[in-house]
Amino acid sequence: MNHKILIILFAVFTGVLLGIYIIGNESNDAELSDANFKLDNKPTIQIANRGKPKVSLKRGYEQIGQLQAKVPQNWKRENPSSSMRIAQFILPGNNGVGELVVFSGIGGTIDANLQRWYTQFKSESGRPISEIAETIHDQVKGMDITFSYVEGTYIKSSMGMGGQKTEMPNYALLAAIVSAPDGLYYFKGTGPKSIMDSQKELFQQFIRSIEKL
């Protein structure tokens, strides 16, 4: 066979192979380009927050469970000393301090819990505390509230069954029970009578500022 013909056939064969190679690469590039286009142009999907919604508090208010309240400036909030407490405050005074603790979900009716608190006091006259306790029923922002005030000797028990009891004369109980949408909240303040009396108005303002979140 003529060498020229061989050269021509070889050139044609090489050209065909080169053409197939180029077409294949262009096809692959097109597929990659399309894939990248699809990835780059995916719609942005906003996933809804599946956790608890962000709490927005009013200025000067603090969260207490599912409530918010305006806490007096001279009260000091502390970490609860018990898992049963959802909040805890120190109430300052000239001769010592009082304590305000907040409970929720402890069970029992309003009256049952008030009676239990009353048994922690005894009067100087010997009359049952339930007979001399001051109790006021009110409603604030659609929530029923029961205020109570008691003075006498506070019988403080140490933690645990059969704990030691200490009698503390001239003490007072300043309490409120709030019927909130998510249940009852119990605000129990105890301390020397002089301190609790001086904090009585602030305590009522604090309770009346309560709002549901």
The pLDDT assigned to 157 comes to 82
* Beta-sheet strand order (sheet of 67-70): 61-64, 67-70, 211-212
Strand residues in the chain grouped as ranges (E): 61-64, 67-70, 76-78, 85-93, 96-104, 121-122, 134-140, 143-157, 165-180, 183-192, 211-212
Q: What is the pTM for the complete model shown?
A: 0.73
CATH class of the domain comprising 61-212? alpha beta
- Alpha-carbon gap, residue 96 to 58, rounded angstroms: 31
* Regions in the chain scoring below 50 on pLDDT: 16, 18, 20-51
The pLDDT assigned to 17 comes to 53
**Domain regions of the chain by residue span:** 1-46, 61-212
- pLDDT (tens digit, 9 = 90+) per residue, 183-198? 999 999 999 999 999 9
The pLDDT assigned to 68 comes to 97
- DSSP letter for each residue of 11-42: HHHHHHHHHHHHHHHHHHHHHHHHHHHHHHTP
